[in-house]
Amino acid sequence: MPTDEFAPRPKLLTPVTLQALCRRSNLQGALRALAHYGAIAAVGTLIGLIASAYGVPWALPLMLPQGVLVAFLFMAVHETAHKTAFDSRAPNIAVGTLSGFLIGLPYEYYCLFHWEHHRHTQDPERDPELIVGPKPRSETQLAIAYSGLVQVAGRLRLLLKHAITGEVTVPWVPAGRRATIVREARAYAAGYAVLLLGSLAMHSALLLWVWVLPLLLGQLILRPYLYAEHTGCDHAKSAFHNTRTTFTTRAVHWLTWNMPYHVEHHAYPAVPFHALPKLHEIVDGEIKHRGQGYIEVTRQTRAWFRAQWEGTKF
């Protein structure tokens, strides 16, 4: 993806420096992907062992951390959609497709969706994140939106629509890519059906406890995180005004593939995740919206949503 044409060009960010920052690495991508998937496998194995030995209730405390790990595979889908997780195209597609399958988000479809989001960030008429996202009008609707369940249900419903009807009508999928999106949806649906039938045949609920239920629980953390990226930011062209960078812990940076540096990512989307901290050091002074931790930013975004339906200024 091209850099943000409206972004300021800090003096320290020379063409040579930017070119160096944009250098992709198969090693960096492999280490991050293996670490993320390794953590999921370890916690999932522990859940299975505890549930088998002592019963499912004893494994319940592990399902939220497992859910956070699984739900945040969204970050692997996101980075590979940019083709910046790895230097080679094939591992980007492989990791993106597997991660998308595990969170119910078809990879090729998301690539098109996300490209449109970058092109029209914060444009209420053209940014697909604003078009498809729920617009809460009450405290109850806001709580449901923050649960993430509406979003998960919506993308699974769209997947099934594409798979069953063979029709793709969303504007961010061009006519020449519709057949690809239909084939992908059918492949995902077939994969889910095989896993379901296999689980029923083996009388096993293992996937429910280590994957499905944790994925739903993980949305409780993922959704507020995602709302922090743009909610309440300017409806402007520049990424330095329409996006928020949030300052947080190393653990969160690891989990999110450094995407709390979100202004930096939107301004220079060709820079891979592992180079974003260095990019931040260069452009930090240009950032308008600066979140001081996700708890505080979530308070701010909730206040912004309430102000919208109350018609008050925020």
Q: Could you report the per-residue pLDDT of 150-186, keeping only the tens digit for each?
A: 999 999 999 999 999 999 999 999 999 999 999 999 9
Q: pTM of the predicted model, to two decimals?
A: 0.93
Least Cα distance to 40 among 58, 61, 60, 67 occurs for 67
Q: Is 67 left (phi over 0), alpha (psi -120 to 50) or beta?
A: alpha
The pLDDT of residue 26: 98
What's the pLDDT tens digit per position in 226-251?
Answer: 999 999 999 999 999 999 999 999 99
For range 111-138, the mean pLDDT: 92
Rounded to 5 degrees, what are φ and ψ at 96? Answer: -65, -40
**Adjacent-strand bridge partners of 244:** 289
First to last CA, the chain: 33
Question: 75-114: b or e for each residue (b if 16 or more CB lie within 10 Å)?
Answer: bbbbbbbbbbbbbeeebbbebbbbbbbbbbbbbbbbbbbb
The band of 2, judged by pLDDT with boundaries at 50, 70 and 90, is very low
pLDDT of residue 85: 98
Tens of pLDDT, residues 17-46: 999 999 999 999 999 999 999 999 999 999
Q: 117-130, pLDDT tens digit by residue?
A: 999 999 999 999 99
d(CA 21, CA 228): 25
Q: How confident is the model at residue 1 (pLDDT cuts 50, 70, 90)?
A: very low
The average pLDDT across 11-16 equals: 82
- Does residue 7 carry a pLDDT above 70? no
Q: How confident is the model at residue 11 (pLDDT cuts 50, 70, 90)?
A: low
Average pLDDT over residues 296-307: 94
